[in-house]
Structures are given as structure tokens and as C-alpha cells.
Amino acid sequence: MPVAPHSGSGDEIFEPRVRRVLERLEQEDADERRLGVSRAERARQIQPATGRFLFALAAARNGCKALEIGGSRGYSAIWLASAAALRGGHLVSLELDPRKVEAWHANIAEAGLDEWAELIEGDAFKAIPNLAGSFDLCFLDAEKGDYENLFALVREKLAPGGLVVADNVISHAETLAAYSWARQNDATVVSVTVPLDHGLEISVIVA
């Protein structure tokens, strides 16, 4: 099993091969930002604290079925798939960019998480309606202008108690403030903005 709880500070919650891939991806992301690599070419991955938060949410539920919209090179998928490995769950990740798809597969394999994660390549708007079954958790990290329409699609795949975690709602408030407002004013959802890293909107389906 690739994940093991750590009895110390919590800085090393994964076995070495998982930790090595996470650290490499963190360094690659930092280097790309430092060198001014264009936004389209960067991984645009989450921060480590957000990764830990996603891990905690997914690991809190036995057999958690997670859906990730915007898999990039697999950094956030490693956090979610590691929780799935620990608690008998599964991750489905969606990614459109062929270059990132290739990197996702390589990184997940290097981390030893293939058994708990799968990638669907293509347009999320076409893929989501065709997904079988339901999900317990959705991590939404796609193009910001698409969040509202993606939420509507994902909502059909979540039972009451399901969570949607949307990233960048503070860093991209000019676009996503309306998304947060809509979630917090929906009587069938309980939603809160969490000021962690770039800002997360955590929404639980209650009806």
C-alpha cells in the first residue's frame, strides 16, 4: 500500500516513492514560475497545503469515489489517489491537454498509484455525462469561466452528502465570486469559502 500514516509531525505522510514524485512536481512548478513559463505551458497545480486538505477530505470516507476535473500532470491526483489507496477508494481524473495526459500517466505510475486512479482524456463537458455511477467528492480545477456549467453537470453525479471542492475562488475572484455566491445562496447546498492557498469553495449537497 503506497500510503502510510506518519506518527511524527505529518510532514512525511507517504512512503518514499510517493513523496519523491510530489517533491519533484513541486520543484518543477516552482522552476516554471521562476522562469516565467507561460500559463498555458505550466502545470498550474495546487499548493501542497491544498493537496493535504484534499487528502484529508477523501481519506475521511471509506471507499471514497473521487472525480477530478483538470488533472494536469497528476500532482493533485497523487494526493487524492493516495487517500483512495489508504481507504479503498478510487479516483477518476479528466484532462484535455495531450501533453499533460502523458505526464499524468508517467507520474501516477512512478508513484505506484495506477490501481487507484484512472485518467479520461478529453473534454469534461462530453466526458462527465457518460461517467458511470456516482461520486462522493469532486475536485474542480478547470478553466474558471466553466465552473458554473461544470458544477451543473457534476451535480447529477453526486448523491446527498457529496462534496464539490472548487479551487481558485479567491485568487480568481473576478471570475469566481459569482460561482461562490451561487453556491452559498442555493438552498440545496451548504457552501463555505475556505481561505486556503488560492481559495476553495467547499459545497456539500444536502438535498
Domain boundaries, the chain: 16-205
Closest by CA to 47, choosing from 114, 141, 144, is: 141
Residue 30, CB-side half-sphere exposure with 13 Å CA sphere: 8
In the CATH scheme, what is the code of domain 16-205?
3.40.50.150
Predicted confidence band at 44 (pLDDT cuts at 50, 70, 90)?
confident
Cell numbers at 71, concatenated: 488533472
What average pLDDT is seen over the chain? 93
pLDDT, residue 42, reads: 84
Which pLDDT tens digit goes with each residue over 159-192?
A: 899 999 999 999 999 999 999 999 999 999 999 9
Which pLDDT tens digit goes with each residue over 108-130?
A: 999 999 999 999 999 999 999 99
Which pLDDT tens digit goes with each residue over 8-34?
A: 334 456 889 999 999 999 999 999 989
Alpha-carbon span 84 to 31, nearest angstrom: 29
Closest by CA to 73, choosing from 43, 29, 117, 41, is: 43
Write the DSSP assignment of the chain as a string of letters: --B---SSSSS--B-HHHHHHHHHHHHHHHHHHHTT--TTTS--PPPHHHHHHHHHHHHTSTT-EEEEE--TTSHHHHHHHHHHHHHT-EEEEEE--HHHHHHHHHHHHHTT-GGGEEEEES-HHHHGGG--S-EEEEEE-S-GGGHHHHHHHHHTTEEEEEEEEEE-TTTTHHHHHHHHHHHHT-TTEEEEEE-STT-EEEEEE--
Count of all residues that appear for the chain in the document: 207
Alpha-carbon span 61 to 67, nearest angstrom: 14
